[in-house]
Structure 1
């Protein structure tokens, strides 16, 4: 049935009235005061981050009901806010589940007001984004579980020096030698001035090298296990105040504070580029030529040939251990040349694995 001009005018008038009413419904100066408060900006994967949103009415007149929208990463959640009397407040508590490590952006916080027919919507942004670091899960490696790291404190090197703490042999005095190192008993017996010669000792310098090549991992869970293993070893080294160098194929972690270290492990991602695995060993030699131990954390698809090539790039005389992360696998130990290889299937088996290679 065709509509006449009069009928069309009536429909247009009705729609116009509805639109005007809708606009009037959302008009008005936004006078709310919105606060976003995170209990902490850093949590460990598997725990909940708790926060609070407070909406206050600082004006002298009531504020109509509205909705608050909180963005969490790519998702968003909504909270209804009732009518607020002058000087009234409304508080909403929220929890952010953190199943795995990530850098989550919390916010912005927006107030949304629309009319009953949802024809017009007014949105006001009150609070900007806040970063929430979800750190990888780690385990402590106290006592015997960190024996490998403890045993390397003061490891002698092959270099001979005229002063140090590791005695090596006696030799004849030469001009410039420190007289405090003269061995008087031997000098009296031989009639020749003899001095002590020492081996240079190397303070424990631990390198944690995380292989983050995507081609070496079948599942994302295996890579997350590798990140947690590397972060656990790095954190224990940092707690013991040993020198630490930590890196991946394409990035280096800050080691000044524990927070910086965990923040950088939070941002580690898989590298899709086809980079040869031996670059990890080469990078260890370049960043820490005086390292005493290199812990290479690798995926289950890393081949023995790749490991052997990487091991040959490491500094001479370094103790090298590869930790293969294969989710669900039984712990086992093997060797590739002079490289110790231990397989872990879960983070909880890491202390036992380190005890095994530390014997």
Structure 2
């Protein structure tokens, strides 16, 4: 008999193939094990269906959490404080009423439910209006007219629903009621901008408001961007010829002698150290000794305008506003005349500082507009340096000062002004402008100081004319 055994049909892979695949599996395992991401931190060393299930659960939880957070943020953005209070009272009333059988409390709970439903219905839909705001004037002076125009346009073929939009103007809020607008129609409303006081005002953005009658919910839609209006202080035109207190505005000669300039003074004998180029040969030939030319020093004026901002130096806000206008008028006139000018105010000391801030703030004097922009935001401070210390700092840090204007309030006495005048270098003409609202203008000269008292801004021009005539 022949022994017939079944022959195995399994294919035997070459050992090289098995070793290569084993190496590939080992590389893949080592690569996954060395990877550090969210999946590896969640599943660890697990693999297969269990790991995929864990990852799926985590992904689902994150999706649900993001959706719930987004819904919570949207609800929180439209529900007011009153709305949350009504919702809480409604839940409490229903629970307590049904728990203890109090019908009156249950009725209160259902009333709250009715209010919530009405509030939800009020938020359904959205406005198809297109609302724009005309850009306001960027810069105006105190008392000038300024405003914006709010325009609502209905581009649809159906009449619009009446809405209310809000326009923030400075610290106030203006409500503009937009009525029903016909298809393809427009509605305009002028919104004034108050310019009775100087400052920087934010106008806009125009915001559409959709709310329920009770005020449980409120949804806002921003239509326009925010604009800024700078209200400059009121200034008075000071002709350049009226600044007669400046002794060298146009390069006029001073009493200071100089070895080299353009204003000839006299001829004197040569002294060691004189420039040989100044030798006057004709006089030398006549006298037989070296003679040199002597000149009078000429220079352009450098004006300093120092404004006190300490609250103790002013009787009220009107005096401070008058002082700001006077300082702005002096500084802008000097800039227009092309002269060197430095305008300073005292730095403010923080409330909880251990010591006073010994410094001044220099305002930009590149153009009159830049200077007036800075003056629009200057304010009084409770803790800052007095005018005498401001004069000391600016006198030490500024070279070539010819005239210094100290603009202060009525509470600053003459001794303090005389002390401030002594803080400037010798030869500087110091003029103190005392601002006392609605007072009679006065003009006084004391040794080393000229004191002007003005009650109105126009008195500044008259006082300078008077000084020029004197």
| Equivalent residue in structure 2 for 1:243, among 332, 340, 362 | 340
Paired residues of 2:266 and 2:294 also in contact (CA < 8 A): yes
* More divergent stretch after superposition (16-25 vs 294-303): 16-25
What residue number does 1:220 align with?
317
* More divergent stretch after superposition (18-27 vs 196-205): 18-27
| Equivalent residue in structure 2 for 1:113, among 201, 210, 218 | 210
What residue number does 1:19 align with?
116
What residue number does 1:204 align with?
301
Paired residues of 2:405 and 2:432 also in contact (CA < 8 A): yes
| Equivalent residue in structure 2 for 1:321, among 431, 436, 448 | 431
| Equivalent residue in structure 2 for 1:349, among 435, 438, 459 | 459
Change (3 A) 1:176 1:217: closer
What residue number does 2:370 align with?
260
What residue number does 2:410 align with?
300
2 CA distance for matches of 1:254 and 1:276? 22
Change (3 A) 1:16 1:160: same
2 CA distance for matches of 1:104 and 1:224? 17
What residue number does 2:27 align with?
none
Give the alignment of 1:43-62 within 5 angstroms: 43-57=140-154
Change (3 A) 1:16 1:326: same
2 CA distance for matches of 1:49 and 1:118? 33
Change (3 A) 1:150 1:312: closer
2 CA distance for matches of 1:202 and 1:90? 62
Give the alignment of 1:1-359 within 5 angstroms: 12-13=109-110, 16-57=113-154, 63-84=160-181, 87-116=184-213, 118-142=215-239, 144-149=241-246, 152-156=249-253, 160-170=257-267, 171-172=269-270, 177=275, 179=277, 181-250=278-347, 251-273=361-383, 275-358=385-468, 359=470
Query: Shift of the alpha carbon at 1:57?
Result: 4.2
Local SS of the residue matching 2:244: helix
Local SS of the residue matching 1:225: helix
Local SS of the residue matching 2:338: coil
Query: Shift of the alpha carbon at 1:215?
Result: 0.5
- TM-score for both structures, normalised by structure 2: 0.69
Change (3 A) 1:253 1:52: same
Q: Which has the higher contact order (CA 8 A, sep 6+)?
A: 1
2 CA distance for matches of 1:59 and 1:279? 67
* More divergent stretch after superposition (79-88 vs 106-115): 79-88
Q: Which structure has the highest helix share of the two?
A: 2
Local SS of the residue matching 1:215: helix
Query: Shift of the alpha carbon at 1:288?
Result: 2.1
Query: Shift of the alpha carbon at 1:133?
Result: 1.1
Change (3 A) 1:142 1:176: closer
Query: Shift of the alpha carbon at 1:8?
Result: 6.3
Query: Shift of the alpha carbon at 1:248?
Result: 1.2
Paired residues of 1:284 and 1:315 also in contact (CA < 8 A): no
What residue number does 2:88 align with?
none
2 CA distance for matches of 1:134 and 1:240? 24
Paired residues of 1:290 and 1:315 also in contact (CA < 8 A): no
Query: Shift of the alpha carbon at 1:313?
Result: 0.7
Structure 1 residues 314-341: Cα deviation after superposition (integer angstroms, max 9, x where no partner): 1221111111111122111223431011
2 CA distance for matches of 1:178 and 1:67? 85
Paired residues of 1:340 and 1:357 also in contact (CA < 8 A): no
* More divergent stretch after superposition (284-293 vs 236-245): 284-293
2 CA distance for matches of 1:294 and 1:336? 15
Change (3 A) 1:118 1:249: closer
Change (3 A) 1:178 1:104: farther
Paired residues of 1:157 and 1:317 also in contact (CA < 8 A): no
Paired residues of 1:152 and 1:292 also in contact (CA < 8 A): no
Total equivalences in the alignment: 357
Paired residues of 1:140 and 1:236 also in contact (CA < 8 A): yes
Query: Shift of the alpha carbon at 1:202?
Result: 2.3
- TM-score for both structures, normalised by structure 1: 0.88
* Runs of 5+ unmatched residues, structure 2: 1-96, 348-360
Query: Shift of the alpha carbon at 1:160?
Result: 4.3
Q: Tell me how large the CA RMSD over aligned residues is.
A: 2.8
Query: Shift of the alpha carbon at 1:118?
Result: 4.7
* Runs of 5+ unmatched residues, structure 1: none
